[in-house]
Amino acid sequence: MKKLSFLYFGILVCLLASCEHKELCYDHSLAAELRVVFDWKYAPDARPASMRLYLFPETGGKSLLYEFGNHTGGKITVPAGRYRALCMNSDTEFILFRNTGRYENFEVYLTNGSFPRAVPRFENTGKQSVRSTPDKLWSDHTEFMEVFVDLKGQTLTLYPKIAVRHYTVKIRNAENLESLASGEIFGSLTGMSGGLILGADRPTEEMSILPFDMKSDGESTVTADFYTFGYPQASETTQNLVVYAVLGDGKKYSFTYDVTSKIHEARDPMNVHIDIDGLPIPKPIDREGGFTPDVDEWGVLEIEITM
């Protein structure tokens, strides 16, 4: 009897350990093998290191999570039933996930961001959080799929496409770029979304400031290239491009452009190009003249632009 009790206890421990490592423990007699295929026809150059799949039962309850250590897919075991499905790459550094239990509220959001140095806040942005710009994110979803317990060869095919918006900035006829301290110039966009409801491809209403790097050619052009989640659709808040420049004499300047129209009226909301003419960086002060500038203050300029 002692041997039988010991054997029973060992089997029970094994079963409990199996449940602990799989996240989900269900009756495999009511489950089926499902082949998951990620077809990259809409993003043929994409090669994420890993993918994540969520299945949301039609009857409600906890969503099912599956991880793939590649970008092509694989075989999983799924309880029989009807689901909505949502996939995305999971190898992101600046994108996190929340509200993952419900398809309608599933959100990707940005990690906290920072500026290279302390900068002045643009007016009326005190409540906007500073967030990182997102990495590349690909996603797809389907509103209905069904897994049958007694059917072999079942396949779920999803077609991930880019989910983040590609933004570029080009400032022509910039002045005195040779005066920058080691090329120190960077920017930010205000009034941008800090999250994205993935299934609906809808930017959230969270207001955020997105800092980003800028590049100077040392002559007359400044550029930037980054991704965003877009802007809050229901808000009337403007989007402002703020350019920060630090000169070799220690003086610091910020230049603000209202780019709301350029963003909202872009031909392709997934590819927004902000083109600006003019960046009036002053010439540095000659230190030999005996005047020492106050390097702690920022010179703030608002510049009107024409469409």
In this prediction, residue 296 carries a pLDDT of 62
Residue 304 pLDDT more than 50?
yes
Averaged pLDDT, 27-39 = 86
C-alpha 272/C-alpha 299 separation (Å) is 29
Q: Where are the domains of the chain?
A: 28-92+136-162, 94-134+164-307
Q: Which residue has tokens 């239990």? A: 101
Instruction: Give which of 275, 273, 272, 278 is closest to 302, Cα–Cα.
Output: 278
Predicted local confidence at residue 123, as pLDDT: 75
Q: What is the mean pLDDT of residues 286-302?
A: 64
Task: Grade residue 245 by pLDDT with cuts at 50, 70 and 90.
Answer: very high
In this prediction, residue 234 carries a pLDDT of 85
CATH for 28-92+136-162?
A: 2.60.40.2100
